């Protein structure tokens, strides 16, 4: 998936993937990670998701990574916060109270730059990447977060009926990426109301990845 694909989506406001409320599976299942107030939650490929506002409202600190500067400018505008901005290598660091977002290629983000991660909330990263990039992404995520526990949201559907993103990710693929590092629990799987993009039947699943 080329970077220009996502830059064009944001520039043209083609952001049907941006939800108008916090993800219900996040609200329902994030507590199962048993984090304490002030824990730092990493949200990869975060866009301007309202999930971040929800996490902040629960008393967590949030650190995000996103390719599009436009998305993050809109995120902070929506939060009503003016960030400090600094250059860190090839990445821009947007910072305000309880929130840091690194803008650039996530593969340029190191563990040292990212800092402490107590948990990962992946709603929009794994599903956004084509198959040939997902293995590289999951390896990198494990490295930069020191295999922090995760709440992972996936979709599963007939990929031949609908091109991604979001891409279809089977339970077998989740296990392939993560079973060596975590105890995996399928917390919930539900039908997508009206089908994926209104075009094909799909299920949305919430996975809890605890350190084994």
pLDDT at residue 1 tops 80: no
Rounded (10°) angle between helices 171-178 and 131-145: 40
pLDDT of residue 185: 98
Residues facing 87 on adjacent strands: 92
pLDDT of residue 197: 86
- Residue ranges of domains in the chain: 3-11+23-211
pLDDT of residue 121: 98
- Is 143 annotated as belonging to a binding site? no
pLDDT of residue 91: 97
Q: Place 6 in a pLDDT band, splitting at 50, 70 and 90.
A: very low
- Is 123 annotated as belonging to a binding site? yes
Q: What is the CATH class of 3-11+23-211?
A: alpha beta
pTM: 0.91
- Is 10 annotated as belonging to a binding site? yes
Q: Bigger pLDDT: 6 or 70?
A: 70
- What average pLDDT score do residues 180-190 get? 97
Q: What percent of the chain has pLDDT over 90?
A: 87
pLDDT of residue 21: 85
pLDDT at residue 2 tops 90: no
pLDDT of residue 52: 96
Phi-psi category of 164—alpha, beta or left, where left has phi over 0 and alpha has psi -120 to 50?
A: beta
Structure tokens given for 96: 């305000």
- Is 95 annotated as belonging to a binding site? no
pLDDT of residue 4: 64
3-state SS, one letter per residue, for the chain: CCHHHHHHHHHCCCCCCCCCCCCHHHHHHHHHHCCCCCCEEEEECCCCCCHHHHHHHCCCEEEEEECCHHHHHHHHHHHCCCCEEEEECCEEEEEECCEEEEECCHHHCCHHHHCCCCEEEECCCHHHCCHHHHHHHHHHHHHHHCCCCEEEEEEEECHHHCCCCCCECCHHHHHHHHCCCEEEEEEEEEECCCCECCCECEEEEEEEEEEC
pLDDT tens figures, 93-122: 999 999 999 999 999 999 999 999 999 999
């Amino acid at each position: 998936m080329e970077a220009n694909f996502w830059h064009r989506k944001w520039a043209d406001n083609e952001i049907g993937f941006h939800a108008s409320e916090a993800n219900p599976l996040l609200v329902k299942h994030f507590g199962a990670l048993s984090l304490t107030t002030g824990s730092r939650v990493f949200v990869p490929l975060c866009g301007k998701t309202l999930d971040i506002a929800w996490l902040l409202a629960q008393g967590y600190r949030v650190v995000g990574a996103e390719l599009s500067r436009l998305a993050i400018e809109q995120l902070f505008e929506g939060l009503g916060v003016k960030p400090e901005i600094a250059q860190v290598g090839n990445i821009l660091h947007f910072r305000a109270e309880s929130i840091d977002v690194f803008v650039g290629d996530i593969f340029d983000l190191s563990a040292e730059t990212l800092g402490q991660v107590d948990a990962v909330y992946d709603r929009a990263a794994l599903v956004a990447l084509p198959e040939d990039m997902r293995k590289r992404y999951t390896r990198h995520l494990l490295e930069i977060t020191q295999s922090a526990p995760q709440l992972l949201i996936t979709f599963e559907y007939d990929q031949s009926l609908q091109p991604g993103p979001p891409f279809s990710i089977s339970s077998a693929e989740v296990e392939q990426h993560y079973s060596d590092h975590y105890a995996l629990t399928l917390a919930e799987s539900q039908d997508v109301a009206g089908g994926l993009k209104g075009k094909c039947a799909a299920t949305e699943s919430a996975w809890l990845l605890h350190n084994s």
